[in-house]
Every structure is written in structure tokens, then in C-alpha cells.
Amino acid sequence: MIKYIFILLTGFLASIVTGCDNTNLTRSISMVPRPAQMMPGSGNHLFSDQTVFAVENEEQAEIARGLITLFTRTAGFTPKLNVGGEGNVRLLTDPSLKSEAYSLEVSPPEIVIKASDNKGFFYALQTIRQLLPPSIERESLLDKKLEWSIPVVIIQDEPRFGYRALLLDASRFFIPKENVLRIIDCMSMLKLNTLHFHLTDDNGWRVEIKKYPRLTEVGAWRVDHQDLPFPARRNPKKGEPTPVGGFYTQEDIREMVAYAAERQVEIVPEIDMPAHSNAALTAYPRLACPTVKDYIGVLPGLGGRNSEIIYCAGNDSVFNFLQNVMDEIMELFPSRYIHIGGDEAQKTHWKKCPLCQARMKKENLANEEDLQGYFMKRISDYVRSKGREVIGWDELTNSSFLPEESIILGWQGFGQAALKAAEKGHRFIMTPARIMYLIRYQGPQWFEPLTYFGNNTLKDVYDYEPVQKDWKPEYASLLMGVQACMWTEFCNKPEDVDYLLFPRLAALAEVAWTQPDKKDWALFLKGMDRYNEHLAEKGIVYARSMYNIQHKVTPENGVLQVKLECIRPDVEIRYTVDGSEPTASSSLYTDSLTVTATQTIKSATFAQGEQMGQTLVLPIVWNKATGKPILGNKPNEKLMTNGLRGSLKYTDFEWCCWEKSDHISFTIDLLQKEKLNAFTIGCITNYGMAVHKPKSIRIAVSDDNETYREVAGLNFTFRDIFREGTFIEDFSMDMKGTEARYVRVTAEGAGECPADHVRPGQEARVYFDEIMIE
């Protein structure tokens, strides 16, 4: 045996010396996040009722019990636990290791785990958990006999970042306690250590505060508009019933905090201020600026102008209230950090409010941004006086001063605003919305449930590298870590949250834990597949979007080029062009396909003869404009002549967009003179997102692209333009058989959305697709 371990260790040491592990061997052991060093051996270590965990103290015993319980529950035997004695799974303190680091040596007769703290021991046991048969996650006794073994391996592991976080938004969708607990357990398996709990917002206050019972009696409940997508929901009226919501009692919170702590997860509560506070202000309207005359209600959606109603910064009772809330929050959450929000505060009311203006004068504040600086600093000073540290969203950098020692969470765009704080020596965390907001689509949109904006695929999350080449060296030392944000605007049931979280949470974990030079997409997928099997055993339905195909159809010199892509390199794309369903023996897609006439392409991904993703149907329909260039060669405009219609999702990469009302003009070159009978253009309305048809469309034609003659046009009424709903309309115009080579479309957008719109004052956007010329 001694010889055996010696051989293993020599191999391991050699791998450390050469700085790389044996990738061929490593491939056979899959886990996520990928460990720093891993050296597989041969054989297995079998767990049984003969297994004895030998621990040094009661704290380690508690950690070991976490794993032992899984065996009792599922495998039907209970490994023994020996505090201060002998055993074959031995936990040994090694003060030379860093916090959270561990070493794990698995051999057939024994397992030796070393760490300097409980976190390290816990993570070693999570590694063992992932290596066990996934059935270990079952809630009940397994009815068949399984070999509860893990492969022989030596692992040295430690995290890249100390702060590895997930935000859960319980305000937009009240996530039941049981689901939060399950998510925490899944986080711990991935060695994530922080749950940023977004407990308050315009859409619901979710934590019981004894001193202010109305926060949950009133603030946790809102009107039911779940029949509409979040951004399209209208504000509540006074007296409307408020059946939708829920809240966590203080008892619930204590249970969640303890459950998380057992899994080395710290829950960082967020009480958002001064904005995102309509739920609190519904309960206590006196805390808004006295200039607010509108009815304040818990918002079911974005809120329009009501989202501009925020805590008054000139009223001392607001600070008194927030300090009292913080007292109870700090009593409930023993976390090192408290998040005090600070995002998206519009200063509409502060500019008009006599109390806010008086405060600015008295405190010598240059403008309303500095008034927010004052607000955040005052709360921060209070929280810090109780021995806690403060985190805030990156808008805190809008003020000329930041709360002392505050930690900035960079979210806007690619998180650049956080660097303004780093410049002043502040620590920061990166959660760029463009990559780390899990509310975005995780795969080709035609297959996904409706949500916001563009895509953040599994691969986008995986590829995220927070430390940029152009950073000053000191920025990297101030970067505490990374976070993914699970905003729940589009979640109506707990399964919706699981679907958006998994498996992208595994990609976050690898960004947070694994050094960049150790990241390997193909190996990650194997580890993630293994993790997903664990999720499945827990009853979690994770997304299979990673197996779906993203298409791109582009006009090129009168024909269409069809590109099909899947983010998984371990699948084949098979397709048909005869309308039949694709199978494992259909044509193999290797390079782009050329299409010259109406044709339906069906494709799907396959592995080991099995279909892995959903079937993509591309119903390409040819007309005189199809495949033809649009002058100017703008990529977006090419979408209008690619033979494919955009879906009801205006963000599906099939629609051509104009953000402004003017300068909507483009010219199609039919490449030769054609007889033109009818011109049709598709246009989408998405009321909630301010996507509307234009005021007018004009069609002009030309033979030489110099002299144009107008041949058709349409006008739309204001009422028709701002009709509510999500729908596509085709606008057809009679071209009366005119002959021409060039067709120019000019349109005028509708301008600002009216005052009674859900997005009042916002510029309406125009989306066209497809152009059909007969």
C-alpha cells in the first residue's frame, strides 16, 4: 500500500513540477468547478457501513455529518463518525493551506483530507459528493443496489476568488423557502459561498420586520397581472385586490441563514434604497417626498413614472426607519457584508421636494447625485458602526464621494463603472449585466420562454474573464470576485427560476473558482453534465438550451447562406431539406448551406445516435427581394431579405431595429429591373418594451438609384400605433406593376410614448422583418 501511494504521489508531484496535470487521465474524472490540480489513479474507494470518518473535533464532525446524512437517506447505510480517533476517511488540519483550500487523497483503503479551515474540509467533501453516483442526491432510499464508490485520485484545490456569489431576486417573484434552500444546496456543491438575497424592491417586500408590520402585511402583496409579461403590466389602482406575493418570516430567515451556514454559504441581505422602494412606500407613504401626489402601490411591473417614487432624502424619519430596519436585518443576518442597494434612483421628486432641496443646501451638496451620496453614506456609516461592511450597486460612483470602504458591485454594461471606485481604492465585485444576468436568454431564442433583452448563453457565462488586459494592476488586487444575478421578472413559478439558473450557475462557479489557464470548455461540459445528473436526481429540471441550434441566414449576391451553430462541440448537427424530421442518419452539417429557392431546412443536434436538442425549423420563403442586397451593407438590415420571418420575440436576431424615430430609410437592390406588383413589410409591436409601428411608411422606386418616384405609402393613427399587446402585422402596398431595380423604404417613427404608456416619454422603437416583393 505504501508503494501504491508513493507511485501516485510521485506522479502528482511531477505534475505540479511541470505545471500541468495529465489531461488524458483527467478526462475520465469530471467535476465542476475544475480543481487546481488533479491526478487520477486506478481503482476506486468504496463507501459502506464499514466506512469510518475520523475527525479532529466537533466542528469537523458537523461537516462530515452533511455527507454521512446523504448515505443514510439514500444508500441505506450510515458511515460511522469518530471524533479524535481512527478511521479510513480522515480529516487532518494542515495550517499551511490557505483558507478554503484542501487536498484530497483517495486510495482504495482510505481517504485523507487536509485543510486549514472548515471551508476547506467542506469543499473536499463536496468534491467527493460530485464524484459519487448522482443518486446520492435522492430524497429517499434507493430501491436498487449501487456501488457507492469514487475513483482513486489526488486533488489539490483552492479558489481563484474569495467572493463567489449568486443574487436571488425574491421581490419580483417570491421564491418559496424550500426552493431557496435547494438552490443554496446546489450552490454549495459548486463551491459558491455567497447568496446575495435581493429582498426588497418595487414589486414586493419579502422579509418580516417586527417594528414595521405593514412592510409585509401590505408591502408583500400586489395585484395579479401575471397574464401579461412583466414590462407590459399596468400599475395598480387604489382598492384593487392584491393576491400575489408572500414573505419570509424571521423564523424562515433564521432557518435559511443556518442552512446556508452549514454549507459554507453566507447570505448577504440587500435592502434596496433610495429607489426600488415602492413596496415599502406603499406600506409607509409618509416616507416618500411630500411632493408625491400619485397613489403608491406595490408594482406588478416596471411601474413607469411610479418607479421614480423613492425615499425622501430630506426627511429624517426615513433614516430613522431605515436604521430600525437595518437593526433587525443585522440581527437576522450575521453576514460580514450588508448590501444597501443604490441602483437606478431617478431624482425626479428630489428635484422638486422642499425637504430634499433644504437638505442639499444644509449639507452643501452640489446636486441630487451628491444627495444620493449623502443618503448612501448616512446608511453606510450606520451599518459600519455596527461592525459590518457595506456593498452597493455601481451607481454609488455617480456621486462625487463614496461611502467609506464601500464595496462596489459593477453591473451596468460590462461593469466598467466599478472601475471608477477601484480608481479611488475601493474593492469591487463584477456582475456585468451583459454576461452575468441570468434573466437573459440562455440559448437560441426561438426555443426559450419569453424574457428580456439578448442572450447570455452558458458559453458566454463560461467565457467571462473579469480581469481585463487594459486594467491597471491595482484593479485586480481590489477585485473580490464575481457574481451571477438571477432577476425574476419573468418567473411565475419556482421551476422558472431553476430553468434560468441551471446549468449556467455551473459556468459561473468555474469562472469564480478555477484559474483561467485551467479552464477548458470541453472538460467543463463533462463536469457540468455530471453535475446536471445530480440536479436531475434532486428533481431539478435544468435547461437543455446548450443543445439547441442557433441559425444565421445571410443574403449574399442573390442567394442565401445558412449557418448552423451549437455551443457544444461534442454534438453533430444533422439536417434535412425535404421537410422530413432530422435523424441521426440525416445529412451531417459541416459548412454553411446555400439556398436559392423556397425551402424548409430542419436540423437538430445528435450524440451517440440520440437527438439532444429541439428540432430547428427554418421555413425559408422566396420572393423577389430574398437574397438581395440592401445598399450600405448594414448587417442588421440584411435580416430583412433573408427569407426568414422574425418570431414574436423582437430580440431573436431576425428583426431589424431603429432606436430613433428619424432616419429610417433603406434601399433594396433587386440586381435587375423587376415588375413589382405588391410590397409587403412585417412589423412587430411589443407594447411593454416600447416597440411600435411607425407613423408612416413610404415606398419609392428607381432604375438608377438616383431619381426616385414615390409609388405607395401608408399612415397609421396614434391610437393604432400605441395599441397594447405583442403582435406582428404585415403592411402591404399595391405597386401597380411598376418596373424598377431599386426600392427605397422610408419611415417615420412614432416619437415619444404617450403619458399613459407603461414607458411614458421613452422613444418608441421600430422593428421590421421581412420584406416581401411580389
| Active-site residue list | 201, 276, 344
Task: Provide the minimum distance between the beta carbon of 686 and Zn ion in the complex, in angstroms, as a whole number.
Answer: 35
Binding mask 513-542 for ligand ACM (x = CB under 6 A): ------------------------------
Query: Hey, CA dihedral for 282, 287, 293, 299, is it positive or negative?
Result: negative
Could you tell which of ligand ACM, Zn ion, none binds residue 267, using a CB distance below 5 to 8 A set by kind? none
Q: Are 14 and 113 in contact (CB under 8 A)?
A: no
The dihedral formed by the CA atoms of 132, 137, 139 and 140, expressed in degrees to the nearest 10: -20
Sign of the four-CA dihedral 501, 507, 511, 512: positive
- Closer to ligand ACM by Cβ: residue 240 or 344: 344
Q: By three-state DSSP, how is residue 383 classified?
A: helix
Contact 223, 244 (CB under 8 A): yes
- Residues near ligand ACM (CB under 6 A), total: 4
289 binds, among ligand ACM, Zn ion, none (CB under 5 to 8 A by kind): Zn ion
> Of these partners, Zn ion, ligand ACM, none, which one is at the site of residue 411 (CB under 5 to 8 Å by kind)?
ligand ACM
Partner whose footprint covers residue 333, from ligand ACM, Zn ion, none (CB < 5 to 8 Å by kind): none
Given its phi and psi angles, is residue 298 left (phi above 0), alpha (psi -120 to 50 degrees) or beta?
beta
Task: Give the DSSP letter string of 585-612.
Answer: TSEEP-SPEEE-SSEEEEEEEEETTEE-
Q: How far apart are CA 388 and CA 382, in angstroms?
A: 9
Residues 391-420 that bind ligand ACM (CB under 6 A): 393, 411
In the complex with Zn ion, the residue whose CB is nearer, 167 or 312, is 312
Q: Select 133 or 204, whichever has its Cβ closest to ligand ACM.
A: 204
Q: Is 547 in the site for ligand ACM (CB under 6 A)?
A: no
Are residues 336 and 388 in contact, defined by beta-carbon separation less than 8 angstroms?
Answer: yes
| CA 14 to centroid of chain Cα atoms | 40
Q: Which residue is nearest to ligand ACM (CB)?
A: 343
Q: Which is nearer to ligand ACM, 276 or 574 (CB)?
A: 276
- Reference 182, options 171, 166, 198; nearest CA is 166
768 binds, among ligand ACM, Zn ion, none (CB under 5 to 8 A by kind): none
Amino acid of residue 36? A
Please say which residue, 342 or 555, places its beta carbon nearer to Zn ion: 342
Query: Does 343 participate in binding ligand ACM (rule CB under 6 A)?
Result: yes
The Cα 73–Cα 76 span in angstroms is 6
Tell me which residues in 167-226 interact with ligand ACM (CB under 6 A). none
Site for ligand ACM in 579-608 (CB under 6 A): none
Q: Which is nearer to ligand ACM, 426 or 518 (CB)?
A: 426
Q: How far is the CB of 364 from Zn ion (least distance, A)?
A: 17
Using CB distances below 5 to 8 A depending on partner kind, what does residue 343 bind out of Zn ion, ligand ACM, none?
A: ligand ACM
Closest CB 395 distance from ligand ACM, rounded Å: 8
Rounded least distance, CB 329 to Zn ion, Å: 24
Closest distance to ligand ACM from the beta carbon of 343 (Å): 4
Q: Is 230 helix (H, G, I), strand (E, B) or coil?
A: helix
Residue 344 binds ligand ACM (CB under 6 A): yes
Q: Please, which residue, 453 or 718, has the CB nearer to ligand ACM?
A: 453
Minimum Å distance from CB 312 to Zn ion?
3
* 382 belongs to the binding site for ligand ACM (CB under 6 A): no
Kindly report whether the peptide bond that precedes residue 770 is cis, defined as omega within 30 degrees of 0.
yes
Name which of 104 and 436 has its Cβ closer to ligand ACM: 436
User: Which partner, Zn ion, ligand ACM, none, binds residue 507 by CB below 5 to 8 Å per kind?
Assistant: none
> Taking phi first (over 0 means left), then psi (-120 to 50 degrees means alpha), and beta for anything else, what does residue 228 get?
beta
Q: Give contact residues for Zn ion (rule: CB under 5 A).
A: 289, 312, 314, 353, 355-356
- Decide if residue 769 touches ligand ACM (CB under 6 A): no
Among Zn ion, ligand ACM, none, partner that 353 touches (CB below 5 to 8 angstroms by kind): Zn ion
Query: Side-chain half-sphere of 235: how many Cα atoms within 13 Å?
Result: 23
Least Å distance, CB 393 to ligand ACM, is 5
Instruction: Say which entry of ligand ACM, Zn ion, none residue 312 contacts (CB below 5 to 8 A, set by partner kind).
Output: Zn ion
Q: How far apart are CA 85 and CA 378, in angstroms?
A: 53
Q: DSSP letters along 57-110, please?
A: SHHHHHHHHHHHHHIIIIIS---EEEETS--SEEEEE-TTSPTT-EEEEE-SS-
Q: Which amino acid is at 759?
A: R
Residue placing its CB nearer to ligand ACM in the complex, 275 or 288? 275
Answer whether the bond into residue 176 is a cis peptide, omega within 30°: no
The least distance separating Zn ion from the CB of residue 355, rounded to whole angstroms, comes to 4
Q: CA 479, 181, 334 angle in degrees (round to 5)?
A: 55
- Classify 352 as helix, strand or coil: helix
State the Cα–Cα distance between residues 552 and 559, nearest whole angstrom: 14
- Closest approach of Zn ion to the CB of residue 307, in Å: 16
CA atoms within 13 A on the CB side of 1: 6
* Joined grid coordinates for residue 21: 496535470
User: Beta-strand (E) ranges in 161-290?
Assistant: 163-169, 194-198, 200-201, 204-205, 221-222, 244-245, 266-270
Residues found near ligand ACM in the complex (CB under 6 A)? 343-344, 393, 411
